[in-house]
C-alpha cells in the first residue's frame, strides 16, 4: 500500500501562499485610501466654511448676503427770492351822527371862513427824512440791510495780528432792530477767485472779535486784487435769503486785505 504524500513534500508554486492573502490586503488598502480621502475632504470643507464665515462675499459662497446700497439724499434748494412786503388793510371807522333836538335860533350867526396857513418844508429836512426812511428799511424789500460805512476795507492786522499779511477775508457782525446781536444766521460767500469757485459760509455769533454777533470768512492765503467777482449774502435758519447780495472788491495790498461788512435788521 502506497502512503499518501506529505504535504511538506508537495511541489507547490512559490506564489501560492501570497495569492491566498492578496484579496484581504487589497481590501485593507482600499479602505485606508478611502479614509484618507474622507479626512482630506473634511479638512478642505472645514477650511472653506471658515473662509466663507470670515468673508461672506467670497466667490466660493453660493449664497452671498445681499448688499443694500446706501440711501441717496438729494438736497433741496431753498428759495432765495426776496420776501415780498405784505400790506395790511385797516378798515376805516364810519362816524355816527347823533341827532339833537331842534331849537329855533335866537340870532343869525355869522361864520368867518378860516384863513389857510401855508406850510413850508425845508429842503434839508426833506433829505434827512428820506435818509431816515432808507435806514429803517421802509424802501427796501429785505429784512437786513448794510450798516452805514459797510463794506469797508481795512488791514487784517487790526483783527488778526497773527496773520502777518498772509490772509485775506471778510468779517463783521449782524444786529437786530435794537442793535442786539443775532446768532445762528448763515453768511454765504460765493463767486470766483483766479478761475476757482469760492463757496464758503460762516455763522453769526461764532467769531467774537467782531462783536457778539460776529462772523468771519477766509478767502485766500495771499491778498489778491479782484473786481466784484465775489459777493456776500445773509440767509436765515431755513435757507432763505434775508439780505441783498453785497458785491466785494479786494486789493493785493496788506493795508486793505480785510473787508468789514455789517448787517442790521430793519423789519420783522
Name the one residue in this structure whose C-alpha cell is 487790526.
Answer: 158
Residue 86 lies in a domain: no
Task: Determine the pLDDT at residue 59.
Answer: 73
Distance CA 180, CA 262 (A): 13
Q: For position 164, which CATH number holds?
A: 2.60.40.10
> For the stretch 139-167, what's the b/e string if a residue is b when 16 or more beta carbons lie within 10 angstroms of its beta carbon?
ebebbbbbbeebbebebbbebbeebeeeb
Q: pLDDT higher for 200 or 1?
A: 200
Residue 45 lies in a domain: yes
DSSP conformation class of 9? G
Residue 63 lies in a domain: no
Instruction: Give the pLDDT confidence of 233-265 residue by residue, as tens digits.
Output: 999 999 999 999 999 999 998 999 999 999 999
Cell, residue 120 = 413850508
pTM, two decimals, is 0.49
Residue 251 lies in a domain: yes
Full domain range(s) for residue 165? 144-265
Distance CA 9, CA 18 (A): 19
Cβ atoms within 10 A of the Cβ of 266, count? 18
Work out the angle at residue 247's Cα, subtended by the Cα atoms of residues 171 and 257, and round it to the nearest 5 degrees.
45
Name the one residue in this structure whose C-alpha cell is 461764532.
Answer: 206
Instruction: Specify the number of domains making up the chain.
Output: 2
Residue 98 lies in a domain: no
Distance CA 240, CA 81 (A): 8
| 3-state SS class at 253 | coil
Residue 75 lies in a domain: no
Burial of 204 (0-12, 13-18, 19+ CB in 10 A): buried
Name, of 43-47, 112-116, 132-136, 143-147, the range with top average pLDDT: 143-147
Q: What count of Cα atoms within 13 Å lies in the side-chain half-sphere of residue 250?
A: 28
Q: Which residues contact 103 (CB under 8 A, 6 or more apart)?
A: none
Name the one residue in this structure whose C-alpha cell is 485610501.
Answer: 33
Instruction: Give the pLDDT confidence of 50-96 residue by residue, as tens digits.
Output: 988 888 877 777 777 766 555 555 555 554 555 565 555 454 555 45
Average pLDDT, stretch 218-244?
A: 95
Residue 84 lies in a domain: no
Residue 136 lies in a domain: no
Mean pLDDT of the chain: 77
Instruction: Give the pLDDT confidence of 165-194 residue by residue, as tens digits.
Output: 899 999 999 999 999 999 999 999 999 998
Q: Considering the chain, what percentage of its residues have pLDDT values greater than 70?
A: 65
Amino acid at each position: 500500500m502506497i502512503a499518501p504524500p506529505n504535504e511538506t513534500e508537495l511541489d507547490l508554486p512559490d506564489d501560492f501562499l501570497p495569492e491566498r492573502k492578496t484579496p484581504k490586503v487589497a481590501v485593507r488598502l482600499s479602505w485606508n485610501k478611502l479614509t484618507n480621502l474622507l479626512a482630506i475632504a473634511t479638512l478642505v470643507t472645514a477650511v472653506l466654511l471658515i473662509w466663507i464665515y470670515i468673508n461672506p462675499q467670497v466667490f466660493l459662497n453660493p449664497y452671498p448676503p445681499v448688499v443694500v446700497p446706501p440711501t441717496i439724499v438729494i438736497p433741496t434748494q431753498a428759495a432765495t427770492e426776496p420776501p415780498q412786503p405784505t400790506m395790511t388793510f385797516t378798515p376805516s371807522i364810519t362816524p355816527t351822527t347823533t341827532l339833537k333836538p331842534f331849537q329855533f335860533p335866537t340870532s343869525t350867526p355869522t361864520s368867518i371862513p378860516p384863513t389857510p396857513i401855508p406850510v413850508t418844508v425845508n429842503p434839508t429836512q426833506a433829505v434827512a427824512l428820506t435818509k431816515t426812511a432808507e435806514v429803517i428799511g421802509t424802501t427796501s424789500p429785505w429784512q437786513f440791510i448794510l450798516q452805514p460805512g459797510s463794506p469797508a476795507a481795512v488791514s487784517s492786522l487790526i483783527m488778526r495780528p497773527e496773520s502777518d499779511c498772509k490772509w485775506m477775508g471778510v468779517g463783521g457782525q449782524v444786529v437786530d432792530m435794537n442793535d442786539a446781536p443775532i446768532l445762528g444766521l448763515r453768511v454765504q460767500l460765493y463767486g470766483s477767485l483766479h478761475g476757482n469757485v469760492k463757496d464758503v459760509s460762516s455763522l453769526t455769533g461764532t467769531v467774537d472779535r467782531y462783536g457778539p454777533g460776529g462772523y468771519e470768512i477766509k478767502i485766500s492765503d495771499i491778498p489778491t486784487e479782484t473786481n466784484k467777482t465775489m459777493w456776500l449774502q445773509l440767509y436765515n435758519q431755513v435757507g432763505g435769503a434775508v439780505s441783498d447780495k453785497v458785491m466785494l472788491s479786494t486789493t493785493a495790498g496788506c493795508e486793505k486785505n480785510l473787508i468789514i461788512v455789517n448787517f442790521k435788521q430793519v423789519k420783522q
